[in-house]
Structures are given as C-alpha cells and as structure tokens.
Amino acid sequence: MRRLALTTLTVIAAITLTSCAATPAPQADLDPNAVIIDVRTPAEHATGHLDGALLLDVTAGELQPALPDLDPEAAYLVYCRSGNRARAAIDLMKEAGFTDLRNLGSLEDAASATGLPIVQP
C-alpha cells in the first residue's frame, strides 16, 4: 500500500513538473529561418499572433497577390484558427510553385510547435 502511494505521488509530481514548462520547445524538424504566415483576419490577428508572423488574410484574398513577392525557395509555416484556412493557403502556394510548406494548425499549436510567444495587444 505504501509503495502504491509513493508511486502515485511520483507520477503526479512528474506530470506536474512536465506541464509547467514556461516556453514550449520548438519542434526539431522546423526550419528556424522559415517565414511564418498568419492567414486569419486582421481582427483575429489583433487578438493575438505569433511574434514576427506575416499577416495575409486568405479569406479576403490577400495571399494570392502577395505570392510574387515571396521567395518560392524559402520555408513557410502557416497557421490560422483551426488549420483549415492554412490548408487552403498551402494549396494556393503549392499551385504557385512553393514546396517547403507546413500547416501548423491553430495559433496555439503554432506557438507550441515554434516555441514563439503569442503577442497580445
């Protein structure tokens, strides 16, 4: 019984310590020089965004005309609210010849994957 209690306390302590990391570690397979694109609306962007993210609202049609100004050889990390608009943006970018593209999903997922802070207004 005492051994079970000690094991339980050890597991709880490990979970607590692991979940208290201040800044998530970036994923090792992400290019640290990648361009980060937020494809949400300006209103969504204003509520919080990744530090340094380029805002190109895919719903408003801002991405397509910006493509000629982007380097097709660069790596791009794209996020939105849920990953759906990021997928649509990546499809547009693929059609334009971009190849190094990664859908990071939501803002929170993107922050976790990159280790970048979410900038709040």
Query: For position 121, what pLDDT does the model report?
Result: 79
DSSP three-state, residue 65: helix
Query: Based on the structure, what is the number of domains in the chain?
Result: 1
Q: Please name which of 12, 16, 22 lies closest in space to residue 112, comparing C-alpha atoms.
A: 22
The alpha carbon of residue 80 and the mean position of all alpha carbons in its chain are separated, in whole angstroms, by 8
Q: Which domain holds residue 15?
A: 2-119
Q: Specify the 3-state DSSP secondary structure of 56.
A: coil
- Would you say 106 and 47 are in contact if contact means Cβ atoms under 8 Å apart? no
Which pTM value belongs to this model?
A: 0.77
84 touches 66 (CB < 8 A) = no
Query: In CATH, what number is assigned to the domain containing residue 55?
Result: 3.40.250.10
Q: pLDDT digits over 32-73, tens only?
A: 999 999 999 999 999 999 999 999 999 999 999 999 999 999
Burial 86-99 (b: 16+ CB within 10 A, else e): bbbbbeebeeeebe
Predicted local confidence at residue 21, as pLDDT = 36
| DSSP E strands, the chain | 35-38, 49-50, 54-55, 76-80, 101-106, 118-119
